[in-house]
Structure 1
Amino acid sequence: MARKPLKFTTAFGVTVMVLGVLLEFGAFFYHAGSMVSAETVFTGAIMLTIGHAFFGIENLFLSLLLTLFSSIGIGYFVLVQTSSWLWTVIAAIAFFAFIVALFGFRSSIREKHGMW
Structure 2
Amino acid sequence: MIIMERNSLKFTTLFGIALIVIGLLLELGGIFYHPGSLESAETVFTGAIAISVGHAFYGLDSLPLSLALTAISSIGIGYYVFVQTTGWLWTIIATIAFFAFIVALFQLRGSIRHRHGTW
Instruction: Give me the TM-score of the superposition, normalised by structure 1.
Output: 0.89
- Residue 115 of structure 2 is matched in structure 1 by none
When the two chains are superposed, the root-mean-square deviation of aligned CA atoms in Å is: 1.4
Q: Kindly provide the amino acid, as one letter, of the partner of residue 5 in structure 1.
A: S
Q: Report the count of equivalent residues.
A: 107
The offset of 1:72, in angstroms, is: 0.2
Once the two structures are superposed, what CA deviation does each residue of 1:31-76 show, in whole Å capped at 9, x if it has no partner? 0000000000000000000000000010000000000000000000
| Aligned mates of 1:65, 1:19 — CA distance in 2 | 16
* 1:104 match: 107
Equivalent residue runs for 1:25-104 within 5 Å = 25-104=28-107
Structure 1 residue 6 displacement after superposition = 1.2
- The aligned amino acid for 2:27 is E
C-alpha separation between the residues in 2 aligned to 1:101 and 1:95?
10
Unaligned runs of 5+ in 1: 109-116
Cα distance, 1:97 vs structure 2: 0.1
Identity among equivalent positions (%) equals: 65
CA distance in 2, matches of 1:65, 1:2: 31
Task: Give the TM-score taking structure 2 as reference length.
Answer: 0.87
Q: Please report how far the alpha carbon of residue 2 of structure 1 lies from its aligned counterpart in structure 2 after TM superposition.
A: 1.9
Counterparts of 2:87 and 2:47 in 1: how far apart (Å)? 22
- Structure 2 stretches lacking a partner, 5+ long: 112-119
Q: Write out the 4+ residue segments of structure 1 that deviate beyond 4 Å after TM superposition.
A: none
Please tell me whether Structure 1 or Structure 2 has the larger radius of gyration of its CA atoms. Answer: 2
Structure 2 counterpart of 1:23: 26
